Amino acid sequence: MRGRGRARACSAPDVAPVPRRRLRLAAGSTAVVVLAVALGGCAPGTGTGSPDAAGASRGEITVLAAASLTGTLDEIADDFEAREPGATVTVSYGGSSALAQQIVAGSPVDVFLSASSTTMRTVTDAGLVEDEPVTFARNALEIAVPVGNPGHVGSLDDLAATGVSVALCAPEVPCGALAATVLADDGVQLAPATLEPDVKSALTKVELGEVDAALVYRTDVVAAGDAVEGVEIGGTDSPTTTYEAARLRDAPDPALADAFVEHVLSTEGRDVLAAAGFTVS
């Protein structure tokens, strides 16, 4: 991954660079925390350096993104900042359904990246998206188990075995909705030990050894490295979830927001997504 994000341009002397910061939103939060730094002599501005009505430049956008994009989108945002001198991208992660509700409630956002078209529809149906959302990736599920696989989980059927504790995403979250589809298709009925607000929370339960398994995205198993083991399910025809990106109609900086979406869709963005295990076409 590239270095931390660049600071917003400032005319005041002797101001230390301010790195771009990421925020993972707490479950159930009703407001987006916008990370900003007020610098003496700095003015709000556009990532292309175009002046606003006061003659200052803007270069800051806020992106809300599905928790499963954590890390991957950081790298894409770093690349974007390197290509857009003066631009700053603040990315906040969380469950897609919670993020969509925050947008509908009026949170100031430039770009939304959802882990499902169904969740994105919450925002589009509210008339808050400027253009039709675009698909940029797909993802499938995999079983994550603690190192050593103490629950001896080797298939979906094993998740329903006596004594096996399983973490699932809540059903309103894309990973939870996909898990319900996958389990139903395989005829597996189970009572999860916990329902988590997003896929990263479900994965953490496995990493801490609090459950014997969790149904998470295959990209999360890849990102976890040696902290967990993965058990593949299904094949190439296994159900997937569709990731969509959209610029919000009331985005404070629409030009920079559009440029960011285009970068996610670019060859460079697609290469980062593919390396993380996402399916891109």
Q: Is the dihedral of CA 40, 44, 50, 53 positive or negative?
A: negative
Quick one: pLDDT at residue 203? Answer: 98
Sequence-ordered alpha helix ranges (H) in the chain: 72-83, 96-104, 117-125, 174-185, 199-207, 218-224, 254-265, 267-275
Q: Which of 9-23, 210-224, 231-245 has the highest mean pLDDT?
A: 210-224
Query: Which two three-digit tokens encode residue 222?
Result: 């890849």
Percentage of the residues of the chain whose pLDDT score is greater than 70? 79
Q: Which residues contact 270 (CB under 8 A, 6 or more apart)?
A: 136, 280
Quick one: pLDDT at residue 236? Answer: 66
SS3 of 199-223: the string is HHHHHHHHHCCCCCEEEEEHHHHHH
Which pLDDT tens digit goes with each residue over 122-131? 999 999 999 9
- String of b and e for 27-41 (b: at least 16 CB within 10 Å)? eebeebeebeeebee
Residue 199: pLDDT band (50, 70, 90) is very high
Superfamily of domain 139-240: Periplasmic binding protein-like II (3.40.190.10)
> Taking residues 38-60, what's their average pLDDT?
42
Quick one: pLDDT at residue 16? Answer: 31
Pick from 124, 144, 125: which is nearest to 134 by CA? 124
Q: What is the DSSP letter of 160?
A: G
- Of 210 and 37, the structure prediction assigns the larger pLDDT to 210
Domain ranges of the chain: 22-138+242-275, 139-240
- Kindly report which listed range (39-48, 83-92, 161-170, 251-260) carries the lowest average pLDDT score: 39-48
CA 186 to chain centroid, in Å, comes to: 28
Which pLDDT tens digit goes with each residue over 145-156? 999 999 999 999
Alpha carbon distance 133, 121 (integer Å): 9
Residue 92: pLDDT band (50, 70, 90) is very high
Quick one: pLDDT at residue 234? Answer: 76
Which pLDDT tens digit goes with each residue over 8-21? 333 333 323 333 44
Quick one: pLDDT at residue 5? Answer: 37
Q: Dmax of the chain from CA atoms?
A: 67
22-138+242-275 and 139-240 in the same fold = yes
Beta carbons within 10 angstroms of residue 86's beta carbon = 20
- Say whether pTM exceeds 0.85: no
The three-state secondary structure class of 182 is helix
Alpha carbon distance 186, 181 (integer Å): 9
> Taking residues 91-95, what's their average pLDDT?
96
Alpha carbon distance 274, 281 (integer Å): 10
CATH number of 22-138+242-275: 3.40.190.10
pLDDT higher than 80, residue 216: yes
> Taking residues 74-96, what's their average pLDDT?
96
Q: How many residues comprise the chain?
A: 281
Quick one: pLDDT at residue 54? Answer: 37
